[in-house]
Amino acid sequence: MVELKVNGRPYRVEVTENELLVDVLRYRLGFMGVKQGCGEGDCGLCLVLMNGRPVHSCLIPAWRADGSDIVTVEGIGSETSLHPVQRAFIDQGAVQCGFCIPAAVLIGKWLLDRGLAGDRETVRWAYRGLLCRCGSYLRFEEAVAQASRGG
């Protein structure tokens, strides 16, 4: 049995020894913004914020997340009040096919929360582990820059 706080809400979930956090979040708890890609931590699509840090949920056994505070893309902003990074992604046209967007937005949020969003090299470094098939990296960078300026 593991206890998680996901997007501010507590959950108690019985997990198996080899069950991964990505599977618990996506298939057991219904957070469909957590994508499943390579299963090896290379594509970054399964990224969530765990205790304030970006992690690849496909690499974490669910039992290891016991007691953790997890944020998925569903946990930031709302339909009526977008998070500044979400608004900036829309404004900059950084949202294309949508497959990598949840992880990209969470990376942007993490950069913004840490005061790192204004440094272009740091932003590029942060997105190095995210595979975007549409090649929107420059738009991600522009969106994060916009959000850091408060616009």
Same domain, 90 and 125: yes
Same domain, 54 and 91: no
**Which pLDDT score is estimated for 150?**
86
Range of the domain at 35: 2-75
Predicted model pTM: 0.94
pLDDT along the chain (151 residues), means of 10: 97 96 97 94 95 97 98 93 95 90 97 93 94 90 94 69
Indicate which CATH number applies to the domain containing 49. Answer: 3.10.20.30
Q: Are residues 140 and 101 in the same domain?
A: yes
DSSP collapsed to 3 states, 4-48:
EEECCEEEEECCCCCCEHHHHHHHHCCCCCCCCCCCCCCCCCCEE
CA 120 to chain centre: 19
Domain boundary at 21, 47, 75, which? 75
- Render 35-81 in DSSP notation, one character per residue: ----SSSSS-TTEEEETTEEEEGGGSBGGGGTT-EEE-GGGS--SSS
DSSP H or E segment with residue 102: helix 101-113
Of 55, 75, 95, which marks where a domain is finished? 75
Same-domain check for residues 89 and 58: no
